Amino acid sequence: MEIGVFGLNSGRCAQPEVMVEVATRAEALGYGSLWCGEHVILPDPRVPPSPLAPDAPILDPLIALAHLAAVTTGVGLGTGIVILPQRNPVVLAKELASLDVVSAGRLVLGIGVGYLEPEFAAIGVPFADRGARSDEYLDAMRSLWQDEHPRFQGRFVAFDGVDAHPRPVRRPLPVLVGGHSPAALRRAVARGNGWYGFGLTPKAVADCLAGLARAADQVERPEGLGRLEITVTPPLHHAGPGPYRELGVDRLVLVPSHRLSATELGQWLDANAPERTTP
C-alpha cells in the first residue's frame, strides 16, 4: 500500500519554503505521492459545511503542484481534489496536460463535484447541475487528451475542429473520482480509474466499498478504465494503516494537522514514514 501526504498547498505548507521542505523530505523518506486540495474561496463567516475558516490559506493546487514538480524527481503528484464543475474544461485540460508534461508523467487527477454552494455562487456556476456538468467536462477533457481529432458536443461544452498539444505523458491520465454519495460512487465506477475517499474511518471505507460494489451492478464500467484503484485519506487521528491495508486500499494519503509548525511537520513525516508503518 502506497503512503502519500495531503495538504501540500494549505495551512503551513501554503508558505513556499515550508512546502518545498516538506515535499523534498517526504520524497527522501519514501512517501509515494504528494497531494493538494482545492477551494477557490471560503464562506465568510464560516457556515456548515465549510471545512475551514475564511482566512485559511490555500494555494491553487495546479500552481502548487507545478512548483513541487520542479523540486522533486519521482514522487507522484495528485489533486485531492479539483472541483471540476467550477473549472472551464478546455482550459483545465490544457493546464493538466502541461502539469503532467513538466512533471514527466507524475500527475494523478482527483476530481469532485463540490459541496459548498457559496463557492459556486461566487464563481457563477449553477450548483444544481454540478454532477451532470462534471460528467460532461471529464468526457470532453478526455477527448482533448486522447482523440486524434478531438470533438465534443454536450449541454455544457462543445468543440470541433480543434486540437491541443502536448498531450499528457501518461495516456490515459489517471483520474480518481472523489465522494461517497451514491452518485459519486456510480461516477467512479463509470468514469474513474479510481475512487478517492476523504476523512474516512475504516468502517466508512468498508461502507463505501460496499457502495461501489452496488454501483457496479447499476452502471457499466468501460473495459479501458481497468481495475478501480482505491485511495483514502483517513481522519487526523486514526489507528494506523493496518485496517486500511486489510480492506484492500491501494493508497493511504495521510493528512497532518494544520496546527503543526514547520519543525513539527518534519517530525510528523519521520514518524509516519512508509518504512515505519509497514508491518
pLDDT digits (tens, 9 = 90+) for 15-47: 999 999 999 999 999 999 999 999 999 999 999
Which pLDDT band, with edges at 50, 70 and 90, does 276 fall under? low
What residue numbers bound the domain in which 187 lies?
A: 2-277
Which amino acid is it at 243? P
pLDDT at residue 24, as a whole number: 98
CATH number of the domain bearing residue 130: 3.20.20.30
- Return the axis-axis angle of helices 61-71 and 16-28, rounded to nearest 10°: 50
Question: CA 145 to CA 142: how far, in whole Å?
Answer: 5
- Whether 121 has a pLDDT exceeding 70, the answer reads yes
* Mean pLDDT across the chain: 96
User: How many other C-beta atoms lie within 10 A of the C-beta of residue 271?
Assistant: 9
Q: What is the pTM of this model?
A: 0.96
pLDDT at residue 275, as a whole number: 78
- Whether 277 has a pLDDT exceeding 70, the answer reads no
Provide the domain count of the chain. 1
Which pLDDT band, with edges at 50, 70 and 90, does 180 fall under? very high
pLDDT at residue 239, as a whole number: 82
- Whether 279 has a pLDDT exceeding 60, the answer reads no
Task: Give the range among 139-148, 223-232, 269-278 with minimum mean pLDDT.
Answer: 269-278
Phi-psi region of 226 (alpha: psi -120 to 50; beta: other; left: phi over 0): left
Question: CA 13 to CA 11: how far, in whole Å?
Answer: 5
- Mean of pLDDT values over 261-273: 96
- Mean of pLDDT values over 163-191: 97
- Mean of pLDDT values over 115-144: 98
User: Which cell goes with 156?
Assistant: 455544457
